[in-house]
A and B are shown apart, each in its own frame.
Chain A
C-alpha cells in the first residue's frame, strides 16, 4: 500500500507513469537556492558595470529585468524542467500530462509568479499549494504544470546467487514480491540487519531441517527459486 502522493499518468501506449508531486518544503528550498544564485548573478554583473558609467547602469537594469523574469524560464526549458535550485533539491517541472515542460507553459507559470507572491512572501502561492492535492501554486494551476521529484537512477541490484529452495507452502503474490525485493536489496544491507529483517518472517526463514540454510540465507534461496533459477 502506497501512502505517498502519487499522480498516475497514462501515456498513449496505455502504460502508467508514476509522478511524485513535491510539497512546499523542498520547493521552498529550491526557490531559496535559486534566489541566492540570482543575487550572485546580479552581483557578478553589477561589479563590472559600475566601471562603465551610465551605459553600465543601463546594461545592469536590462540584466536585472532578464534575470527577474526569464531566469526560471530559461533553465526550465533548456535543462528539462530543472532550475539549478530544483536540480540540487532533486525536483523538476513537467506539464501535468507528464511531458517535459513546454516554453509556453514555463512562461505562463513564471510570469504569474507575481500573483503567488501577493500580498507578501508568497502567501497566496503557499495557500494554493497547501490546499491543492498536488501542491500546485496558482501559476502551476494556470499553466497546467506540476513540480515532481526526479526519479533517482534505478539501482542495479540483482538477487544474489544461492541454491534454490522451494518454500514449504504456496506463497501469495505479494509475499513472493516482498521476498524477491528483500533478496535484491540484501546486497546493500549489513548481515545483522538482514537477519533482523528475516526474523520478522519466522514461518519462512526458519525450517525444521538443520542442514538447510536458515534466516536471511534461506529467504535468498527461496527468492532464487521464485525467480526461476535452476540448481
Chain B
C-alpha cells in the first residue's frame, strides 16, 4: 500500500487519538487550533493504542517517510506514557506501610539495623567511658568554643529560658522545631545517600554522631548538668536515635549491595536494593519528624524529672512494641 492511501485510511483514527491525548493531558488547543473534546471514551484507549502500535510497525516496515513515522512514534510514546503510568493506590499503600509494613521491613533487615546500631552505640559507649575517666579528653573530640557554649546552655537552674513559667515561649519552640527538621532529617537522609559511596559515607556519619553524642553526654554529667540534660533529651531520644539508626541501616545495605552484588550486575543490584530500602528511609524521616515535634514542644518544658523519665520510657516501649508486634501478617 502506498503511503498516501495508508494515511488517508487512518488519518481520522490518528486525529481522534491526538485529540484524546490533548483532552487527557488538558491541552486546551489542539494542533489544528480546535478546542479539544474527548473524541472517544477512556476505556477504548488501550484498543486504539494497540492499533496505533501496529500502524507504527507497518509504517516502519514499509519504509514510509520519516515524518509519518515520527508522528506515529510520538503518538505511541504519549499513549505508552499514559497507559503505563504507575502511581495507583499510593495513599492505600502508605497506610498499609505505616500500619505494620514498616515494622516487618525493619525485621527483615534486622542485621543491618543491628550493625548500624553497633556503629553508633559503640563509639558512644567508648566516649562515655573515656571522658568519664579522663575529662580533658573532650577537648580532643569537640572544639573548645562548642564545649563552652554547651556548658552554658545546660548549666544553671534556668537552662532553657523558662523564666518564671514551666513552659517556654511558643515562638522559640517553633524556631527549634524548624531547626530540628532541617538539621536532623537532613543528617539522616545524607547518612543514607552516603551508602552509595560504598557505605563509607554512612559509616562515617554513624561513628561521628556516636562519638559526639557520647562525648557530650559524658561532659554534661562531668560538670553536674546531668539532670538538665536528661530532662531535655529523654523524651525524644528513642525516636531520634532510632530514626538515624534506621536510615544508617538503609545506607549500609545500599553500600554492601555495591561491594558485594552477588549474582546481579552492580547497577541492577543497586537498583533492587535502593527500591527495597525506600520504605525504611521514609519511615526514618517520619520518626525524625516525630522526634522533632517532641524535642521542640515537649522536651524544653520544665516538668518534674520523674515525669520526663516516664515519658521517655513510654516512647521507647511504644516504639519497641510497634517494631516487635505490628505487621506480623506482612511477613511471609
- Could you list which residues of chain A lie within 8 angstroms of chain B, going by C-beta atoms? 11, 13-15, 17-18, 53-55, 57-62, 64-65, 68-69, 77, 80, 98-100, 102-105, 107-108, 111-115, 118, 124, 138-139, 141-144, 151, 153-157, 159, 173-174, 176-177, 180-181, 184-185, 226-229
Tell me whether chain B's interface is mostly helix, strand or loop, or mixed. helix
Name which of B112-120, B171-179, B206-214, B310-318 contacts chain A.
B171-179
Please give, as numbers and ranges, the residues of chain B lying within 8 Å of A227 by CB-CB distance.
2-4, 65
Tell me if B192 and A65 are in contact (CB < 8 A).
Answer: no
Name which of B77-85, B136-144, B298-306 contacts chain A.
B77-85
Please give, as numbers and ranges, the residues of chain A lying within 8 Å of B177 by CB-CB distance.
58, 62
B63 at the A/B interface (Cβ < 8 Å)? Answer: yes
Tell me if B189 and A111 are in contact (CB < 8 A).
Answer: yes
With an 8 Å Cβ cutoff, the count of chain B residues facing the other chain is: 64
Please give, as numbers and ranges, the residues of chain A lying within 8 Å of B87 by CB-CB distance.
77, 102-103
Known: A111-B192, A151-B77, A177-B63. A143 touches B197 (CB 8 A): no
Considering only CB atoms, which chain A residue lies closest to B78 in the complex?
A151
Interchain Cβ contacts within 8 Å, total number: 172
Known: A54-B171, A156-B71. A115 touches B193 (CB 8 A): yes
Please give, as numbers and ranges, the residues of chain A lying within 8 Å of B186 by CB-CB distance.
65, 68-69
Please give, as numbers and ranges, the residues of chain B lying within 8 Å of A156 by CB-CB distance.
31, 71
Tell me if B181 and A155 are in contact (CB < 8 A).
Answer: no
Considering only CB atoms, which chain B residue lies closest to A92 in the complex?
B81
Tell me if A100 and B81 are in contact (CB < 8 A).
Answer: yes
Please give, as numbers and ranges, the residues of chain B lying within 8 Å of A180 by CB-CB distance.
3, 64-65
In the assembled complex, the CB of A12 is this many whole angstroms from the nearest CB of chain B, namely: 8
Most buried by B among A102, A104, A159: A104
Please give, as numbers and ranges, the residues of chain A lying within 8 Å of B152 by CB-CB distance.
none
Tell me if A143 and B80 are in contact (CB < 8 A).
Answer: no
Tell me if B81 and A60 are in contact (CB < 8 A).
Answer: no
B220 at the A/B interface (Cβ < 8 Å)? Answer: no
Tell me if A18 and B73 are in contact (CB < 8 A).
Answer: yes
